[in-house]
Structure 1
Amino acid sequence: MLEKAYGDVVLSKTRAYEWYKAFKDGREVVEDLPRSGRPSKSSNEENIDKIKTMVLENRHLSLREIARGVNMSHESVRGILVDILGMRRINGDDKWMYENEKETTQHSSEFCSEHEPKPKKPRRSRSEK
């Protein structure tokens, strides 16, 4: 009956019984619980502190430059910056760049935490002839 209503997205009978038992035994959340196993090598406090220090000293570093600096993969660094430190890449000049300017969007972008205001870049106007 559930398969008719929900199609392929319905839980199997076995999985439904497992969830029923888990909630009956006192589980209150549906999110994954912490698991045992080998901890991540890259997301330790030492690496998090190194990355945070590098970014706060120079917010214009690229992910690759940071990854080379801490000898980690690009994705591990991105995970620490975004998921753990809550930072994101900001491009402050998307609309105000002239073709002849040497600074590219990549060079002028910065890492900022969620609670920091967006960086301001002065708007340049063309001089009148």
Structure 2
Amino acid sequence: MADLREQRACIKFCFKLGKTAAETHEILKQDFGDNSLGQAQAYDWYKSLKNGRISADENVAKVRDLILQDRRRSIQDLCNTLGLSYGKCQRILSEELNMRMIAAKFVPRLLQNEQKQHRLEVCRELQQQLQEDPNFLSKVVTGDESWVHGYDPESKQQSLQWNSPSSPSSTSQEQH
């Protein structure tokens, strides 16, 4: 994959220097040997630059900007906004930006009956303690500050967002 990006950069460089497609392909063959692009593909990339098509680097920058504005954007939304194919957006996110979808918030699975029963028992005990001692809640120790979000996802799918290895963890993002 790195070779393809390097060759694309070489084609763009040669194009800006005013080299022809044939000269550019010869340079690629010299530099990359057996790993160089075929003549047809090199000519296609050269032609797309000549026709003013946006370079891959510009597409990557546009995708990055949109994702940083809203990490919960879907690939389909990116496609519709940028006019790129689904596969191209997916490749840019995964290979170029090294991003993947992760759940931004932990959403527990459905509780089993015994887990539901245990929660009900704990709630009843707390309710009973409150009835016996009206000052019960004043004895509860809490941490410093915490933020409560008004959005509780109904499913894990709704909380998915794009993250890269350098992104802060989702727990630190929720506490701002």
| Interval of TM-score (by shorter of Structure 1 and Structure 2) | 0.5 to 0.7
**Per-residue deviation at 1:98?**
6.2
Count how many residue pairs are aligned between Structure 1 and Structure 2.
Answer: 95
Q: Give the aligned partner of residue 74 of structure 1.
A: 86
How many angstroms apart in 1 are the aligned matches of 2:109 and 2:73?
A: 20
Give % identity.
Answer: 22
CA distance in 1, matches of 2:37, 2:96: 16
Aligned equivalent of 1:58, options 60, 70, 80: 70
Deviation at 1:102, TM superposition (A): 5.1
**Structure that is richer in helix per residue:** 2
Render the CA deviation track for 1:55-96: whole Å, top value 9, x for unaligned.
Answer: 000001111111111111111100011111111111133542
1:9-56 Cα distance to aligned partner (Å, 9 max, x none): xxxxxxxxxxxxxxxxxx9xx9x4455342286762222111111100
Tell me the TM-score normalized by structure 2.
0.43
Using the size of structure 1 for normalisation, the TM-score is 0.56
Question: Gaps (5+ residues) in structure 2?
Answer: 1-30, 112-151
- The change in CA–CA distance for 1:43 and 1:84 in structure 2 (over 3 A counts) is farther
Query: Distance in 2 between the 1:103 and 1:58 partners?
Result: 19
Conserved 8 A contact 2:93-2:99? yes
- Note if 1:103 corresponds to 2:154: yes
2:67 and 2:89 mapped to 1: Cα distance? 11
Secondary structure of 1:38 counterpart: helix
Structural RMSD (CA) = 3.4
Distance 1:53 1:81 in 2: 12
Structure with the greater alpha carbon radius of gyration: 2
What 5-or-longer segments of structure 1 have no aligned partner?
Answer: 1-26, 123-129
